[in-house]
Homo-oligomer: A and B are copies of this chain.
Amino acid sequence: MAHARRVTLQDIAAAVGLSVNTVSRALTGKDQVSEETRAMIKAVADRLGYVPNTMARSLVLGQVMTIGVVITNPSNPFYARLISAIEQRGRVHGYSMLLMVSEENPDNERRAVESMMRWGVDGAIVVPVQAGDDHWRRLIDSGTRVVLVNRDLSDVDCDFAGIDYERSAYEASLHLLDTGVDSMYLFEEDLRISTVAARIDGFTRAVTERGLPADAVRVLRVPTRRHEASTLPWEAAESYDLARSVVAGLPDNCGILLGNDYFALGLYRALREAGRRIPDDVRIVGFGDDTFAGYLDPALSSVRLPSEQLGTAAVDQLLARLADRATRTPRVTAFYPTELVVRASSAGPAVVPAPAPAARRTRARTRQGSS
């Protein structure tokens, strides 16, 4: 059962007794064709089951109506939502999405760039691994517009849509300090990426500002297995191991900031097993506000990240660049506001648990400047 060969403009032209050219014009809505001819051609095309050939079309047009998306790990719910938002927004504007996964591996990332250059995608939206950036520069030099998301590359001349993690971590830390803790911990994953560094900076700024003695402050790195495979779940087990080894030495009345909510899963268990109480003994704030955060016991305070907004903004920014190909405006760096959702896990000693969760937003900012 060999399926029917694909119907082409030729076939339609032959069927209606007109030239390929006319058929093309009729179908693409050009106005140099009589309405009756067009209707007739459309009818025949429909009857024959004509579907335009994107390859041929793109080859001559020089644009493929496709954006390449490179993500480190789609299993991370933050990125999963980002992908959804990008796809949705792109689809509205008629763009398809070529998805590539780098798994935090620069080699995969380079391969992704190669792939995008072969395809000649119109633009790329990227969460960079942040290990090497020559390939990005090459991609941009080849004429592809690139928008970085969540992680920036200061040496690459392209737009960026991200989150001010420094400030978010600073504010979350202040919130913990405000509950009256007298020592502070930060759990961060063991990756050399700017988002982690920024959170550490914000955390450090807060504890320094409040004058916490150095020996009352610790940054703990949770080993990550994210390099190994993109299908791995997040690092709850690792944070559990770390927390268990730390929990005995954990002073009462301390605050813990977590680089992501999954750390809370491991930490909660370790504390439970050690008989430590949240928030009485230990007060906790996470990052990400994953679905489960509000349903843990006690409910986890967490910094909500604007993943959908980020995805939408990245697409819009890309399309804007595509719209005026020529102009050479300096790179746009936009930060989108997070929201500290305060729940029971960081309720201060004297505070009555609020009925509705209080929210506190960082303000939105957009910055323009050269590189």
A residues with a Cβ closer than 8 A to B are 1, 3-4, 6, 49, 51-56, 58-59, 64, 69, 73-75, 77, 80-81, 83-85, 87-88, 91, 96-101, 103, 108, 111, 114-115, 117-120, 138, 141-143, 229-231, 233-234, 236, 240, 262, 265-266, 268-269, 272, 290-292, 294-297, 307-308, 311, 328
Show 16 A/B contacts (Cβ-Cβ < 8 Å), sorted by A.
A3-B142, A55-B59, A55-B120, A73-B84, A74-B84, A75-B77, A77-B77, A85-B231, A87-B101, A91-B111, A97-B99, A231-B308, A236-B292, A236-B294, A265-B295, A269-B297
- Say how far A140's CB is from chain B's closest CB, in angstroms: 8
Query: A138 to chain B: which residues have CB within 8 Å?
Result: 49
Closest partner residue, chain B, to A51 (CB atom): B117
- Say how far A58's CB is from chain B's closest CB, in angstroms: 5
Q: Which of A52, A120, A143, A292 has the most CB of B within 10 A?
A: A292
Q: Which of A64, A80, A111 has the most CB of B within 10 A?
A: A80
Contact of A141 among B4, B87, B88, B290 (CB under 8 A): B4
A236 and B295 contact, Cβ closer than 8 Å, known pairs A88-B229, A97-B99, A115-B96: yes
Query: A233 to chain B: which residues have CB within 8 Å?
Result: 77, 290-291
Flag if B272 contacts A118 (CB, 8 Å).
no
Q: Which of A49, A55, A56 has the most CB of B within 10 A?
A: A55
- Say how far A235's CB is from chain B's closest CB, in angstroms: 9
Query: A52 to chain B: which residues have CB within 8 Å?
Result: 118
A101 and B84 contact, Cβ closer than 8 Å, known pairs A3-B141, A4-B141, A268-B295: yes
Closest partner residue, chain B, to A97 (CB atom): B99
Flag if B101 contacts A98 (CB, 8 Å).
no
Flag if B100 contacts A98 (CB, 8 Å).
no
Flag if A88 contacts B101 (CB, 8 Å).
yes
Besides the contacts A56-B59, A77-B77, what 10 more A-B pairs have beta carbons closer than 8 Å? A3-B142, A6-B143, A73-B84, A75-B80, A75-B84, A81-B231, A88-B103, A240-B295, A265-B291, A268-B297
A99 and B120 contact, Cβ closer than 8 Å, known pairs A80-B80, A291-B236, A307-B231: no
Flag if B230 contacts A84 (CB, 8 Å).
yes
Query: A84 to chain B: which residues have CB within 8 Å?
Result: 73-75, 101, 229-231
Query: A240 to chain B: which residues have CB within 8 Å?
Result: 295
Bound: A87/B308 CA distance, A: 22
A119 and B54 contact, Cβ closer than 8 Å, known pairs A74-B74, A295-B266: yes
- Say how far A338's CB is from chain B's closest CB, in angstroms: 16
